[in-house]
Structure 1
Amino acid sequence: MEKRKLGNTGIDVSVICLGTMTWGEQNTEAEAHSQLDHALERGVNFIDTAELYPVPPMEETRGRTESIIGTWLKRTGRRDRVVLASKVSGPGEWVNYIRGGPRLDRTQMTDALDDSLRRLNTDYLDLYQVHWPARPTNFFGNLGYTHEEDPDATPIEETLEALDEFVRQGKVRHVGVSNETPWGVMEYLRLARERDWPRMVSIQNPYNLLNRSFEVGLAEMAIREHVGLMAYSPMGFGVLSGKYLDSTPANARITLFPRFARYSNAHGVEATRAYVELARAHGLSPAQMALAFVNSRPFLTSTIIGATSMAQLEEDIESAELVLGDEVLEAIETIHTRHPNPCP
């Protein structure tokens, strides 16, 4: 398994990162443990989770995913073999069941981190990420930006100061952002430089064949500033496998949870069909082609995969060995030109 540097740190992480957000909802604890065992055997050393998980987020299941990872770590004693990442929730009415309304301030973040560490059965995280910004901005599928001031939003300065304290305490080794914008990342970097606070080493944003908006603004930042992309939804909630094109598969994520239809609009379906036909014309698995494209990007640190079955997990991991030829890459660009970012 190829390893890449996590930002400007000395940590090497696998190009495939094991995502966990289905564990505790679509996957049982035993299934999750089997996925962890298999992923490590195949060379994956990077695990990503969040206090919010599993998804869809609900009060009665929050934290269950971290607890499942925690029981695996306790049973196997493999903490030193994995790079473990988690995330603290930002504000939003849809998550007001978290600490009475989560805020990215020192008090709430301290409580969030301590709870995550307890559930995970560890005394430190290799990477602690801000799941989404406190300020109103364009994320979670919004490309257009309408400026809106929120006097109650926790300033980035306060959030980063809290993260600095966690690093100094030894509870966190490195810090990252998620669902951020170019301005947000550069503001974190500016404050880190001026205050001698920890520098963001990663950004976890969506990136796939149906949504390449990261390439506008953030890609250059990721390369020049060594804040590499941890790509989530690399298969667009599974649609790029082609399984939703002509059927409604039972127990699949979008079948069970129709709210996750972000990559299923008419333009997205048309583009997906073109990518699936391209893959099959070249004797490739559509899922592996989609993942291999993401893996090949120069601004990428790691591609976060999520699987509900061992067969899916194995297919996704094998994408790390696939190198797309020039003919396929050129055809991908042709389709992208015809269907640019149909599902932001």
Structure 2
Amino acid sequence: MDYCRLGDSSLVVSKVCMGTMTFGRQNTLEEGVEQLNLAFDSYGINFIDTAEMYPVPTQPETAGTTDKIVAEFLKGRKREDVILATKVAGTSSRINWLRGEKEEMCKLNKEQIEYSIEASLERLGTSYIDLLQIHWPDRYVGGLFGQPDYDIDSENDPGVDSSFEEQLGALNEAVKAGKVKYVGLSNETPFGVMAMCQLAKQYPDLYPKIVSIQNSYSLIVRKDYEAGLTEVCSPRNMNVGLLAYSPLAGGILSGKYAKEKVDEKARLNLFPGFMERYKDSQVEKAVAEYANIAEKHGLTPTQLALAWCYHRSNVASSIIGATSIVQLEENLKAFDVVLEDEVMKEIEDVYKIYTDPTKAYKNK
């Protein structure tokens, strides 16, 4: 395993991060702990990512269960040996079960951020969080979770959103209190990253510096990040480390959904409508082309997709997930695969044709 410093932080993270969003629905407590033990003890992982709303799809009956499984894993570890990341949910009119008995819709105001941090610390059984991320923006943004791209006519009243100042101010208090070490963003845009980084630069005593961004990034979801965020987050500019989530695009890039008989327990079949954007016909065509490249060079589709993401120069760490030990080991072993120049060229040739294959879905 290789390691890197995450953005401007002092955190030295493994280049592969253990995602946990299936723990509590698709994986039991015992299975989750087993996966984490294997990753840490046999493969050199030191980095875990969770969220207050996990497992997904989120629901009131299971929200927070993932954290309790992570807490069980932490009981057998020295806390300083684990870099623990979690997330506070952004605005949502339909999620009203994360803020206690008040049943308030999720927002990123000061009161709710403070509540979220305290609840996460309690569930995780720890006194501090290494990296706290804003799960998604507290404002209208285009393209989020497969939605249409930004449309000026769809802008809502900015006065109803929690300001960047309020969000960063609440996070800064948590940092000063020792409850959070560093802060990051997720599903964010170039505008959001620049605005928050500029506030921290201008008022360093009031606002913490953003050190990471957790966005979807894979062979079929590249353009949104590479077209703007790569420059913004570059070490010579804002120095914000990319934590690439869904490097297998919900499992689509593994090729398992292209088989004649697909496991009914596979995530996209188990939860109809979940990550629907990955089932578009253009996505299927792109996935087939990448699978052909993998077969030509003696690789599995999973090895091709993960090796590509693991070793991208703009990726600090790739967040992987699995529902079985067999899947997890294939994912982790793929880190040792280095793609040859010929393979990389063939990938770029396919990318030129299928630059943004989820676009057909997003703009329906």
TM superposition score normalised by structure 1: 0.97
Q: What is the rounded CA distance, in whole Å, between the counterparts of 1:334 and 1:59 in structure 2?
A: 44
Q: Does 1:216 align with 2:220?
A: no
Output aligned runs, 1:193-232, within 5 Å.
193-196=201-204, 197-212=207-222, 213-223=224-234, 224-232=237-245
Q: Does 1:320 align with 2:335?
A: yes
Counterpart of 2:208, as a letter, is P
Q: Does 1:243 align with 2:253?
A: no
Tell me what 1:264 maps to: 279
Alignment root-mean-square deviation, CA: 1.1
Q: Which moved more, 1:143-152 or 1:128-137?
A: 143-152
Offset, 1:19: 0.1
Q: Does 1:45 align with 2:46?
A: yes
Deviations 1:119-178 (A, max 9, x none): 001000000000001111122223621131332110111000001000000000000000
Counterpart of 2:300, as a letter, is S
Counterpart of 1:237, as a letter, is G
Tell whether the 8 Å contact from 1:21 to 1:53 is kept in structure 2 after alignment.
yes
Q: What is the rounded CA distance, in whole Å, between the counterparts of 1:251 and 1:283 in structure 2?
A: 28
Q: What is the rounded CA distance, in whole Å, between the counterparts of 1:169 and 1:285 in structure 2?
A: 47
Deviations 1:176-206 (A, max 9, x none): 0000000000010011111112100000000
Q: What is the rounded CA distance, in whole Å, between the counterparts of 2:71 and 2:199 in structure 1?
A: 33
TM superposition score normalised by structure 2: 0.92
Q: What is the rounded CA distance, in whole Å, between the counterparts of 1:188 and 1:294 in structure 2?
A: 26
Counterpart of 1:108, as a letter, is Q
Tell whether the 8 Å contact from 2:52 to 2:98 is kept in structure 1 after alignment.
no
Output aligned runs, 1:10-21, within 5 Å.
10-21=10-21
Percent identity of equivalent pairs: 45
Offset, 1:237: 0.4
Output aligned runs, 1:1-344, within 5 Å.
1-41=1-41, 42-74=43-75, 76-99=76-99, 100-138=104-142, 139-142=144-147, 144-147=149-152, 148-150=155-157, 151-196=159-204, 197-212=207-222, 213-223=224-234, 224-247=237-260, 248-260=262-274, 261-343=276-358
Q: What is the rounded CA distance, in whole Å, between the counterparts of 2:146 and 2:240 in structure 1?
A: 21
Q: What is the rounded CA distance, in whole Å, between the counterparts of 1:288 and 1:254 in structure 2?
A: 20
Counterpart of 1:69, as a letter, is V
The runs of at least 4 aligned residues of structure 1 exceeding 4 Å deviation read none
Counterpart of 1:299, as a letter, is N
Count the aligned residue pairs: 343
Give the secondary structure class of the aligned counterpart of 1:72.
helix
Q: Which moved more, 1:312-321 or 1:126-135?
A: 312-321
Offset, 1:285: 1.6
Give the secondary structure class of the aligned counterpart of 1:249.
coil
Q: Which moved more, 1:325-334 or 1:216-225?
A: 216-225
Give the secondary structure class of the aligned counterpart of 2:348.
helix
* Unmatched tracts of structure 2, length 5 or more: 360-364
Tell whether the 8 Å contact from 1:2 to 1:320 is kept in structure 2 after alignment.
no
